[in-house]
Amino acid sequence: MKPSNQYPIYHYGIKQNTEQWDKIREGKFTASKAEILAVKGKGRLGLGTGAMTHLYKKASEVITGGRSEGDEDKADFSNVHTERGKDYEPLVIKMYEEKTYSKVNRVGFVQYSKHIGCSPDGLVGEDGLIEIKCPDNPQFLKRRLTWEMPKSTWCQINYQLMCTERKWCDYILYNWAYGNIMWVNRITPFEPLIKILRKNALAVEQEIKNMESTMNFLLQNT
């Protein structure tokens, strides 16, 4: 079940890692936090502790009209791994296009609902998307030899497939130190996980609306 037929909405005119991109992500659960939505909690909404904490953060952004102080979302996009990814992303996309004979289209943000969305690294045709990871040397070696994928990345990719309603994601690993190697692994939706993500995402969506309505009532009647 999806929120409504108007979604997903693709925001092509927004460039990632800009003030406009930061603004559209306010009040929304994004793919970087998908792992916390994969946890089955014991509370009223069935969400885990991490998801509940993030829910209050996102609801506060909606109600106050601004991002929270001490914004951990921004910290997620400013660590050494993500900065490395940003540096290499144009090169990796060019290599991918040459390897697959396909065109990667950029999109700023894709909304699955009012408070749920994601920012894929790129879209391929009508059915695909890409997710680029540029781990450090030890992590690249481990992932390439063991075929292991971090749980956070597995959840992130499936969350993006849910939000975009696309059929596959090419998970791209890149590291220049091993001979400029790019490894591509095609991921298709894992329905058991997507079912959990969708259920919890819709619970988050409704609860943010409930919190906004309740708080607005309290503010008007205080």
Sequence ranges of the domains in the chain: 9-220
Residue 220 buriedness (CB in 10 A; 0-12 / 13-18 / 19+): exposed
Could you list the pLDDT tens digit for every one of the 222 residues in the chain?
566 678 899 999 999 999 999 999 999 999 999 999 999 888 788 899 999 999 999 999 999 987 666 555 555 545 665 666 677 899 999 999 999 999 999 999 999 999 999 999 999 999 999 999 999 999 999 998 998 899 999 999 999 999 999 999 999 999 999 888 899 999 999 999 999 999 999 999 999 999 999 998 888 887
- 3-state per-residue secondary structure call for 177-209: HHCCEEEEEEECCCHHHHHHHHHHHHHHHHHHH
Tokens encoding 64? 């106050």
Query: For 91-167, where are the E strands, in sequence order?
Result: 104-105, 109-113, 116-118, 122-124, 128-133
- CATH (residue range 9-220): 3.90.320.10
* CA–CA distances in Å: residue 93 to residues 99, 108, 133: 10, 16, 12
Cβ proximity of 128 and 169 under 8 Å: yes
